């Protein structure tokens, strides 16, 4: 059905040539997974080839070695709702840093009669946050049309990423939907007056609430944005540290997410305070 061998070969050679060029250490490293879908294998290869070529030719981005892509996401699994979530929640943050990739591109191709739908999302391998997503409905399963659609889709995604990540990937900071939650949780502990030792300690000690290990996975499958929340909240009091694992849940808005996280922390406040004080003694 396709006469792709020359086009694919040329694209592959171009991508390989660009990869041999020295790239800036500040470049964001992008891993491209093989697209999924019950379609002709040539279509999958065509989309992958276009994606890798565009990434390789875009300033500020570095194409991650495709031979190592599956190692990067090997600890992750796809669920039926298309969440990309870590099978080992605690290792999610270290996984991306150890393997060297920053972002992973996942793609699904679906045929509807003669129409081809290309759905793509870019996810932060460390936080699991979906940082960009886009789709293309191709009205004709034609080589040139599919190639052009794949090229424009990836160009659009990288443009979004350039805007969103203009300051780089900020590791160790709460994700934007959770902005301000650290102070809200801190207030819950500071307002607790049940223990005399705590009342004395909080006057002189510095309390911090670290949300950098809370992971958000986004699902846009049905048009509405739904978050899957997991990970842990860390409390630090003058060097003493206590972790609270969150029971994973899904929610539809940042405000409701914050409310549910605080609802999980509230019953554990006394235990958190006790454990922090015990480490200070």
* Predicted confidence (pLDDT) per residue in 156-195, tens digit: 898 888 776 655 555 445 567 888 899 999 999 888 877 7
Exposed / middle / buried, residue 20 (Cβ in 10 Å: 0-12, 13-18, 19+): exposed
User: What pLDDT is recorded for position 68?
Assistant: 54
Q: What phi and psi, each to the nearest 5 degrees, are found at residue 74?
A: -65, -25
pLDDT at 87 over 80: no
User: What pLDDT is recorded for position 67?
Assistant: 55
What are all long-range contacts of 75-79, with beta carbons under 8 Å and residues at least 24 apart?
A: 78/36, 78/106
Contact 86, 74 (CB under 8 A): no
Q: Where are the domains of the chain?
A: 5-164, 176-280
- Across 35-39, 92-96, 203-207, 258-262, least confident range: 92-96
Architecture of the domain delimited by 5-164: 3-Layer(aba) Sandwich (3.40)
DSSP state of 279: H
Joined together, the tokens standing for residue 175 give: 């994700």
User: What pLDDT is recorded for position 231?
Assistant: 87
Q: Among all chains, which residue has been given the structure tokens 């994973």?
A: 248
Cα first-last separation, the chain: 74
User: What pLDDT is recorded for position 73?
Assistant: 53
Q: What phi and psi, each to the nearest 5 degrees, are found at residue 166?
A: -60, -25
């Amino acid at each position: 059905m396709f006469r792709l061998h020359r086009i694919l070969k040329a694209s592959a050679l171009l991508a390989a040539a660009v990869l041999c060029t020295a790239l800036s250490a500040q470049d964001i490293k992008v891993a491209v997974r093989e697209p999924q879908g019950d379609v002709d294998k040539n279509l999958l290869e065509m989309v992958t080839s276009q994606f890798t070529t565009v990434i390789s030719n875009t300033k500020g981005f570095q194409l991650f070695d495709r031979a190592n892509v599956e190692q990067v996401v090997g600890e992750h699994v796809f669920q039926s709702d298309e969440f990309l979530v870590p099978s080992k929640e605690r290792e999610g943050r270290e996984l991306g840093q150890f393997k060297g990739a920053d972002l992973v591109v996942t793609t699904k191709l679906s045929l509807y009669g003669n129409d081809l739908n290309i759905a793509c999302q870019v996810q932060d391998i460390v936080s699991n946050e979906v940082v960009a997503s886009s789709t293309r409905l191709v009205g004709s399963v034609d080589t040139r049309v599919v190639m052009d659609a794949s090229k424009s889709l990836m160009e659009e995604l990288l443009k979004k990423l350039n805007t969103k990540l203009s300051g780089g990937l900020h590791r160790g900071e709460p994700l934007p939907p959770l902005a301000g939650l650290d102070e809200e949780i801190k207030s819950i502990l500071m307002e607790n007056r049940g223990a005399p030792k705590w009342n004395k300690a909080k006057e002189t000690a510095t309390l911090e609430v670290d949300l950098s290990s809370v992971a958000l996975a986004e699902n846009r499958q049905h048009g509405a944005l739904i978050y899957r929340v997991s990970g842990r909240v860390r409390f630090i009091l003058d060097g003493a540290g206590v972790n609270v694992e969150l029971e994973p849940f899904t929610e539809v808005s940042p405000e409701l997410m914050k409310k549910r996280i605080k609802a999980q922390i509230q019953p554990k406040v006394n235990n958190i305070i006790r454990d922090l004080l015990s480490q200070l003694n």
